[in-house]
Amino acid sequence: MKASNSLDGIKVTGERLKKPSVSVKAPFAIDQTRMKVLEAGTGARALADGYVTVHYYGVNGRTGKMFEESYTENMPKTFALNGVVAGFKTGLTGQQSGSRVLIAMPGTDAYDASPSSGPEGYEAGDTLIFVVDVLSVSVAEPSGTTITPPAGLPTVSAGTGKPTITIPSTAAPTKMVAQTLIEGTENKVAKGDSILARYVGYSWKTGKLVDDGFDSPSGGALSSTIPGWQTGLVGKPVGSRVLLVLPPADGFPKGSNNPPLEAGDTIVYVVDLLFATAS
């Protein structure tokens, strides 16, 4: 069977976010990983070392039959592009959130190196065809509308690099503040999400940096974070930079060893929201 250098023989119908219909004359093989944007999104572009959340519909080119899809059970998948087969990484890198993309990959970019780890019925040399709806992607840094905060709050250095926070000489507020500094344009954080973020935290009492998670972004369930993060980040779009001023009840009521914070101190965070997905 001669491998094709075109996706023209694959027909896809249906609306984005709904299960597509895919027809292909089997057996079908592709010469190299190829992709086609069926419907262009307008969001951020997927990073080669980033994360994506997608719906997908997979067809084996040899048989022409669907082997797996996420639409029926409404179970989109989240993964790191560094953790998937080469064809998926090639096909999705650079694609914008909101897009529907057709990807075909030869076995060498799929599971030929370990056929048993492929989908049911996979044989070495099989071409895999995917229709992928890109629901959300991670971003490298904040991007969007800059918002000027009200007077009296800690001031934050401008730009999107590592922020520094200057604490005012006034008394710490008694109520928490969640002030957007840069408003992103991606999906909004929900209460039950897991997030990927980078951040710095400063002590109001000393004005010093006490919590530095900026250079190595970390991820986890929002519900496992301190109260101020759980309430202050909900509804904020991915791609945002957020200033959180957290009195003890919203931060560390009894103080903390890590970060080093005395009981009764207010902690001030600047958080860059890089990704969010349902837990």
Question: pLDDT (tens digit, 9 = 90+) per residue, 209-240?
Answer: 999 999 999 999 999 999 999 999 999 999 99
Residue 1: is its pLDDT beyond 90?
no
What's the pLDDT at 212? 98
| Averaged pLDDT for residues 55-77 | 97
Q: How far is 191 from 217, CA to CA, in rounded Å? A: 20
In DSSP terms, 219 is beta-bridged to: 196
What's the pLDDT at 82? 96
Give the domains, in start order, of the chain with CATH numbers: 10-137 (3.10.50.40), 145-278 (3.10.50.40)
Question: pLDDT (tens digit, 9 = 90+) per residue, 260-277?
Answer: 999 999 999 999 999 999
What's the pLDDT at 158? 87
Question: pLDDT (tens digit, 9 = 90+) per residue, 176-201?
Answer: 999 999 999 999 999 999 999 999 99
Which residue type is seen at 103? I
Q: Return mean pLDDT, the chain.
A: 97
Omega into 259 within 30° of 0, i.e. cis? yes
Instruction: Tell me which H or E stretch contains 31.
Output: none
The string of DSSP letters for 3-23 reads PBS-STTEEEES-TTS--EEE
Residue 229's φ and ψ, nearest 5 degrees, are -70, -40
What's the pLDDT at 255? 95
Give the predicted TM-score (pTM) of the model: 0.94
Residue 42 tokens read as 């307008």
Q: How far is 267 from 207, CA to CA, in rounded Å? A: 9
Which residue type is seen at 188? K
Cβ atoms of residues 10 and 102 within 8 Å: yes
Q: What angle do CA 104, 107, 112 make, to 5 degrees?
A: 150
Q: How far is 251 from 227, CA to CA, in rounded Å? A: 6
Q: Three-state SS for 153? A: coil
The string of DSSP letters for 208-219 reads -EEEEEEEEEEE
Question: pLDDT (tens digit, 9 = 90+) per residue, 73-118?
Answer: 999 999 999 999 999 999 999 999 999 999 999 999 999 999 999 9
- Locate the DSSP E strands across 81-159: 100-105, 128-137, 145-146, 155-156
Instruction: Tell me which H or E stretch contains 267.
Output: strand 267-278
Q: Three-state SS for 109? A: helix
CB burial of residue 150 (10 Å; 0-12, 13-18, 19+): exposed
Share of the chain above pLDDT 90, in %: 98
CB burial of residue 14 (10 Å; 0-12, 13-18, 19+): middle
Confidence band, pLDDT 50/70/90 cuts, at residue 63: very high
Question: pLDDT (tens digit, 9 = 90+) per residue, 118-159?
Answer: 999 999 999 999 999 999 999 999 999 999 999 999 999 988
Tell me the pairing of strands 100-105 and 128-137.
Answer: antiparallel
